[in-house]
Amino acid sequence: MSTIDSVLKENRLFPPSEDFRVKANVSGMEGYNALCEQANNDYEGFWADLGRELVSWKQPFTKVLNSTEAPFYKWFEDGTLNVSYNCLDRHLAGSGDKPAIIFEADDGTSTPVTYRELHQRVCQFANGLRSLGVKKGDRVVVYMPMGVEAVVAMQACARIGAIHSVVFGGFSAKSLQERIGDARASLVITANEGLRGGKSVPLQAVVDDALALGGCESIQHIVVFQRTQTAPAQWDARNVWWHELTAQQPTECEPEWMNAEDPLFILYTSGSTGKPKGIQHSSGGYLLGTLVTMKWVFDYKPDDVFWCTADVGWITGHSYVCYGPLAIGATQVVFEGIPTYPDANRFWSMIARHKVTTFYTAPTAIRSLIKLGADLPGQHDLSSLRLLGTVGEPINPEAWIWYHEVVGGGRCPIVDTWWQTETGAHMIAPLPGAVATKPGSCTLPLPGILADIVDESGAPVEPGKGGALVIKKPWPSMVRTIWGDPDRFKKTYFPEEFNGQLYLAGDSAHTDENGYIWIMGRIDDVLNVSGHRLGTMEIESALVANPLVAEAAVVGRPHEIKGEAVVAFVVLKQNRPEGEDAKRIARELREWVAHEIGKIAQPDEIRFGENLPKTRSGKIMRRLLRVIAKGEEITQDVSTLENPAILEQLRVSAL
Ligand code: WT7
């Protein structure tokens, strides 16, 4: 992979400036090393101190880590708290009038919402949910556009102890239905439609379709936020307008006091096999993870204007839009739209207008904005910025250097943050006032995070050698289980090969001579397309569900902007199509996948064959498909291949 080659050659070091280091929350390598040492000397004491310092408890915990049912670890188990109280109420006395959210709508209008106002809106909505019978432990699916209401919906669930499961607004009715069914949710919160890039996005209509598919009998109400004037095509007796639900509700709402281990939310993510996994997070440990990383990695200061561009449909939007920034009392920008509307100046203009200090986005967005106008940031006053971040995939050094020079004016550290839906919060990232950065490396684990790179037997590999990235000790914000499937949780993350002792991240990585970690990519059949996680099996199952398709295999190939592109090899039940016929069927299959999963999973390329390359025992040889997808010559051994002629056919058939 060309990105990896260039990453491997990259060795420039960018230490923090003296000015940044002096003011930083963790200052210099002395500061970083001191924290690591504390964690090494007394692991539980280290996390207990942070838990007491950063989280407001109703009933303080006396127990720290309970490993008796490992890998089902418990943190702070006898403590009680409410996450929404931590995000809102505790700021009212000192910062009630501080803007919590500066909301910028798709059309460019912006509205500040203070902590006091946000608190009132969350309380009203929480009371509304209670009036519909939602109670502690119930599951609530949130299928919303980006905006203040999405945050209000999630915070209101947290306030009454309901477990939210946010489904990204780009997922199809089928995906939504599967998630509602798996979580046995009792309520869906949606909007009539969303607005992105000047276009409306159907939401309530997709919910209607999802419910019509069946299997969602658990749903009792659908709360609909009216984002636009478009009237709903259908209005079920179970539907309730958001504004009607909240109109008469009191602006105070007693929080439900939760045990630290009570689930805060489920978020579905793709795995290597089968259906998406409901990643279940806790209340106490998760909140601590978001808080400590806001402080260390984002070096949070009270006068910051923080902006994470992620949608709340992903973990990044949970931890660094909905929870972390509010829990620490920050002012943050929440953006409804897309980076290219009305044009590719949008992000830069927003940074200038809102005086953003901390900007956090995905490498794929950076790459596409370079392509659309590498000189555009220069036309805006970006002098408010002091810290930049990236997340979701490795960043190629070229894009890193551009981000550093052109966006950050050469003065802002870049925090390349490695983490996952399962980890809840950053795990490997430079503390910006301490760790010198290297373009393309997420650098060093955070204090209290024991990352390592191991071989198949679980033994650490030498620097420079690739291996599996693992975490050696449980950490507070870790996934607690897979909703409804504890066996799968155990097998996936704490496999027998490592005696159930190591958390297996699913990424391969290596370290360099400075001990810096370089992420190489997934070791399972998971693709990373524009920072979004997609299971190849999921796309394959969607394809074979089409009546025309006999067999399908999906692989990734490097893509300049998206990181990875989806390439599908398809065998039809009919003869292998050619010419216009092939184009038409390929188009149909793309639409089919959008319909089954969502547009984000649509294959970039489809190749039809009479068959797929298989071993004599019938196993599809994916490594050959990856070579073909890249457009490279096959130099590997094909002697075990049953049907070598098929390779040529697939090689010439890109559509
Ligand atoms: C996978 C997790 C974590 C929020 C967004 C994605 C990849 C994530 C980085 C990074 C290289 C990264 C990994 C990981 N990944 N951050 N800084 N450098 N790779 O969350 O959907 O759970 O995906 O994203 O492969 O396993 P996710």
pLDDT digits (tens, 9 = 90+) for 261-288: 999 999 999 987 778 999 999 999 999 9
Per-residue confidence at 653, pLDDT binned at 50, 70, 90? Answer: confident
- Please report where in the chains the tokens 């909301």 appear, as a residue: 103
Residue 191 is predicted with a pLDDT of 98
Higher pLDDT, 358 or 648: 358
Closest residue (by CA) to atom 2 of ligand 1?
420
Closest residue (by CA) to atom 6 of ligand 1?
392
Domains in the chain, CATH or no CATH each? 530-650 (3.30.300.30)
Residue 7 is predicted with a pLDDT of 53
**Ligand 1 pocket, Cβ-based, cut-off 6 angstroms:** 269, 315-316, 391-394, 416-421, 442, 505-507, 519, 522, 528, 531, 533
| Alpha-carbon separation of residue 552 from 528, 606, 620, 628 (angstroms) | 19, 10, 10, 15
Over residues 35-68, the pLDDT tens digits come to: 999 999 999 999 999 999 999 999 999 999 999 9
pLDDT for residue 387 is more than 90: yes
From 7, 10, 280, 391, mutation site for ligand 1 pocket: most ligand atoms within 8 A of C-beta = 391
pLDDT for residue 397 is more than 50: yes
DSSP secondary structure string for all residues of 437-451? B-TT--BSBPTT--E
Nearest atom of ligand 1 to the alpha carbon of 417: 17
**Cα distance between residue 320 and residue 483, in whole Å:** 23
Over residues 306-348, the pLDDT tens digits come to: 999 999 999 999 999 999 999 999 999 999 999 999 999 999 9
- 3-state helix, strand and coil shares in percent for the chain, rounded to the nearest 5: 35, 25, 40
Closest residue (by CA) to atom 5 of ligand 1?
392
| Alpha-carbon separation of residue 606 from 564, 578, 580 (angstroms) | 15, 12, 14
Closest residue (by CA) to atom 14 of ligand 1?
420
So what's the ipTM on this one? 0.99
Nearest to 446 by CA among 479, 468, 419, 466: 419
Per-residue confidence at 8, pLDDT binned at 50, 70, 90? Answer: low
Q: 271 CA distance to ligand 1 centroid (A)?
A: 13
pLDDT for residue 3 is more than 90: no
- Please state the pTM of the whole predicted model: 0.95
Strands 605-608, 517-522: pairing is unpaired
Strands 387-391, 263-269: pairing is unpaired
Per-residue confidence at 615, pLDDT binned at 50, 70, 90? Answer: confident
